[in-house]
Structure 1
C-alpha cells in the first residue's frame, strides 16, 4: 500500500461501509440504511472506488458529529453520495450536512444530487432557504456538483439561478457499482426473437414504493403477483424490512390491500416477500430472475447490475429523470391499462435495454471525469474500476478530451503511449517489444452508437501526422473507402465511407500503418 493510500483521510456520508460485516438483522435494528436499502447501493458504489485506501482512515458523518475528537482531524475529502434531497421535508438532512461542511476544510465530492418535482414544473419548497444554504456552501468547497438528472439541473440553474458551470449531470453512482463491466445476459440480443418464454417458471423481480401508493399501478402489481407464481417482491423500506424480519405490520397509512403491508398478504404467506440489506447479496440474488418490474429506480438499477432487462413504472420526476439519463426502459404509471401485460413490458424492456448498454461507457467516463474535475487524486482510486481507455495526465482524464467525439478510446495498443493536451497525441512506446505477448500495432475505437448491418456511414478524422496513407478498418471486415483527404485550418481532414456488410459492429480502428499522430476529432454520421 502506497503512502497516499495509507494516509488519505476521508469523511463519508454513510452509516456503514462495504468492508464492514453486519447481518441484515443488525442493519434493520439500527436502521443503518437511512430508511431505504437503495441508499446503500449508491453509497457503496462510490465507496467501491475508494476502498483501496486504509479503512481505518474512513469516518462516517454520524461518528463525526458525535465525536469531538474526530472533528479536530484534518480530512482530505468529504464524499457525499446523494439522492432526492431537493424536496419538501428534507430540511433536517440539509441542515445536518451544511453544519458538517462548515466544520471541515476537506475537498468535497457531491454525486447524484436530485430532487422530487412536480410533473407540471417547479414551485417554491417551504425549505428552499435550506436548499440554497446547502448548495452555496458546497459550491464554495467543490468545483462541480454531480446531479442525477436534467430536472435537477433545470431546477438549480433555471429556477434558482445558479451558474450552469457549477453542475454536471452524471446520473446515479449506483449504476457504477460493478465498475465499468456490465452483466450482459446470454439470452438477450437485440434484433432477434431470442427472449425467454413467459410461463409459470418465469421468475420476475417486483419492486414498488408503498408510500407512493396509487390504485392504478398497485392493481397492476397485484395482478402480476397473483398471476405469476414465480414473481417475488424485493422490498426496500425499513418498515417493510421489519415486516419481513419480525412480521410487524406497516402503519395504517402505508398499509394497502393490494400491496404487502402485513403478514396476512398472500405473497408474504407464500414466502415471496424479500428484503436484502447488503447490495452484493441483493444483486447476486437477482441473477436468478429473468425480468425486473416496478416503481423503484434503485430496484431497477440493482436488477440491471445483475444483467436483467428492466421496466420501470415512473410515478414522479425523480424516477423518470434518472431512467431518462441512463436510458433505462420506463413507462409512466398512467400509461398502464387493463390490457397491459407482463409479456408486453418484458419484450419492450429487452428491446430498449440496448440504449442503456450503448450509453453505459459514455456515462461511466463522464462519471470518472467528474471525479477528476473535482481534483480528487486519481492515484487513490481503485484502478480496477477505471477503464484502460481513460488515462491520467496531470489529474485530468483523456475521456474528457474526447467527450465530443463519436467514439471512445478503447484499450490502448502496446505500440503507443499517449500525451493528452488539447488533442490526443499517439507516440511510439519505446518500451514496447514486438513479438511479446499481447502486442499489436493498430489502434481500435469503440463507437458510441451501434453501426448496423446494411447501413452506410461516413467517418471523419481530423488529425496531424506523417503517416498519410493510414486507413480505417471495420470490426466485421467490411470494405472502407477513403473519400477525401484535405488540409484544413486546424489539421488534416480525412473522410472515409463504409457499408456494414457482415454484422452489427461497435468498433472501428486505425490500420497498422498509423504510427504516430495528433488526433483532434473523430466523427461518425449515417448516410443514405
Structure 2
C-alpha cells in the first residue's frame, strides 16, 4: 500500500466542532483551501494508495519521519508565490530539501494584478527559484494554476511546468454538469454572493452587494476567512479586517442581523447548501467553484491574477471587477453567462490533469480506483457541523455550547500552565547545575596546577646531604 502525505489543514473525514476548528484554524485562514485539498485527497485515494493529512504547519524536523513513513509528499497550493507567503514558502523549501521521497506540487500560482505585471514579485524571485528547484529535484514537473504562473516560471528558466488548473475542479472526475435552472433571475431567486476583504473594501464590491441585498430578499453572503467565521460565531471584531463594517459578516451589517451570512468549515456542507441556490457570483474563486461543483451557475468578478488565470483556463464565466458598474444587477451576469465551454471542455482538462499525475507517479481514483465511491460513502456516513451563521440569538442552547467550550478551554489552559510551571522549575534547576559546573575549573587546570606545585614541593622535600 502506497502511503501519500498530503499538505492540508485537516482530513476530509475529520469532524471538528466549530469552536475547535476556529481555535485551531484548520482552514489555514481561508476555507477555500479545504476545497482543493479535499478534492486532492479524494482523487489520490485508490485501492493501492492511502492518503494522510500533514496539517498546514511546516515541521522541518519531521523530515526523517516523513522519509521513513511515506512514499510521496503531495503539496496542493494556491497563490503561494506572493510576498505575504514568502516565509512559509522558505520553510517548505527547507523541508523539501531534506526529503528523499517524491514531492509533487499541484495547482500553485503567482499572485499579482489582473494585468499580469510581475513587478511586485521581483524581490521574492530567489525564494521562488529555490522552491521550484527543490521540487523539481523530487518530481518530473510542477503543476501550475494557469497561463500567468506558467509564463512567470518560464521567464525564470523553469521549463518543466504544466498548466493543470486547480484540483478542486476535478472533484467529480471528467464530468461537470452546470445548468441554468431558471430562465432568468427574479426577486425570489436564491442568490449567493462572495468576496474578499480587499475586493469589498478596495474594489467597490460592497456597493454591488448592497444593491443586490436590496433587490434580492433571498441573497446570502458566503465568507471564507477565519476573520469572517469568528465574526459570525463569536462577534469578534478585534482585528483590522474584523473592523470593516462593509463586510456582511460584520455584526453591524444588515445581512448579519438578517441571518444572511455563512462560513463553512467543511466543503461537503458548503457544496450541499449551494445546490439549492439559483446562482452565485463574487470575487472568490473557490466560493464560486463550490457553486459549480454543486451544479449551480456562477460568475467570477476577477480581482487579481489568481482568480483570472483560473477562470481563463477553465472557461468559467467571469468579468473584471474594476470594469463592472456599482449598480450591477446579478441578473445581467446570469443572462450573459455561457457554461458550454466550461462543461464541454472539462474532460480534456481532466485528461491533462491525470496525465500530469501519471508522469509524477501518482494514481487517481477515476482511472485506477472506484471513481471516489468509497470516499463519498465514508464522507456521507459522517455528520458535519452546519455552516457558521450570525450569532443573533441569546437562547440557552446557543450560550451553553459557546460557554461550555470556553470553560473547557479554561480547564485545558490551567493544566497547560501547571505543566509549564513544572517545566520552568526543572529548567531553572538544570540551569543552576550547568552554571555551577561551568564555574568549576576544568580537569586540565587541575593537572597543570599539580604539575606546577608538584615540582617545587618535591625539590623542597628532597633530603639534603
Q: TM-score, normalised by structure 1?
A: 0.66
Identify the residue that residue 20 of structure 2 maps to in structure 1. 26
Identify the residue that residue 264 of structure 2 maps to in structure 1. 276
Identify the residue that residue 8 of structure 2 maps to in structure 1. 14
Listed one character per residue, the Cα deviations across residues 58-83 of structure 1 (whole Å, up to 9, x for unaligned) are 25154865657734614211100010
Identify the residue that residue 211 of structure 1 maps to in structure 2. 198
Shift of 1:129: 1.4
Higher percent of residues as helix:
2
Identify the residue that residue 348 of structure 1 maps to in structure 2. 336
Q: Which moved more, 1:25-34 or 1:195-204?
A: 195-204
Q: Secondary structure at the match of 1:205?
A: strand
How many residue pairs get matched?
Answer: 369
Identify the residue that residue 381 of structure 2 maps to in structure 1. none
Q: Give the conservation status (yes or no) of the 8 Å contact 1:240–1:250.
A: no
Q: Which moved more, 1:250-259 or 1:220-229?
A: 250-259
Q: Distance in 1 between matches of 2:168 and 2:363?
A: 21
Q: Give the conservation status (yes or no) of the 8 Å contact 1:64–1:71.
A: no
Shift of 1:206: 0.6
- Pick 1 or 2: higher relative contact order, CA cutoff 8 A, min separation 6: 2
Which of 33, 47, 50 aligns to 1:39? It is: 33
Please list every run of 5 or more consecutive structure 2 residues that lacks an aligned counterpart in the other structure.
Answer: 374-465
Shift of 1:148: 0.3
Q: Distance in 2 between matches of 1:126 and 1:254?
A: 30
Q: Give the conservation status (yes or no) of the 8 Å contact 2:227–2:242.
A: no
Q: Give the conservation status (yes or no) of the 8 Å contact 1:239–1:250.
A: no
Q: Secondary structure at the match of 2:15?
A: coil
Q: Secondary structure at the match of 1:183?
A: coil
Q: Does 1:50 align with 2:44?
A: yes
Q: Does 1:200 align with 2:187?
A: yes
Listed one character per residue, the Cα deviations across residues 357-392 of structure 1 (whole Å, up to 9, x for unaligned) are 1111111111111100112256897623399xxxxx
Closer, same or farther: CA 102–120 of 1 in aligned 2, 3 Å:
closer
Once the two structures are superposed, the pairs formed by residues 371-450 of structure 1 within 5 Å of their partners are 371-377=357-363, 383-385=369-371
Q: Give the conservation status (yes or no) of the 8 Å contact 1:80–1:111.
A: yes
- Is the radius of gyration larger for structure 1 or structure 2? 2
Please list every run of 5 or more consecutive structure 1 residues that lacks an aligned counterpart in the other structure.
Answer: 1-6, 189-194, 388-528
Once the two structures are superposed, the pairs formed by residues 171-186 of structure 1 within 5 Å of their partners are 171-185=165-179
Q: Does 1:144 align with 2:141?
A: yes
Listed one character per residue, the Cα deviations across residues 473-502 of structure 1 (whole Å, up to 9, x for unaligned) are xxxxxxxxxxxxxxxxxxxxxxxxxxxxxx
Q: Secondary structure at the match of 1:27?
A: helix
Listed one character per residue, the Cα deviations across residues 71-124 of structure 1 (whole Å, up to 9, x for unaligned) are 461421110001001111212211121122122211121110101123252224
Q: Distance in 1 between matches of 2:174 and 2:268?
A: 16
Shift of 1:338: 4.6
Higher percent of residues as strand:
1
Q: Distance in 2 between matches of 1:115 and 1:150?
A: 10
Q: Secondary structure at the match of 1:175?
A: helix
Q: TM-score, normalised by structure 2?
A: 0.74
Q: Give the conservation status (yes or no) of the 8 Å contact 1:142–1:374.
A: yes
Identify the residue that residue 127 of structure 1 maps to in structure 2. 124
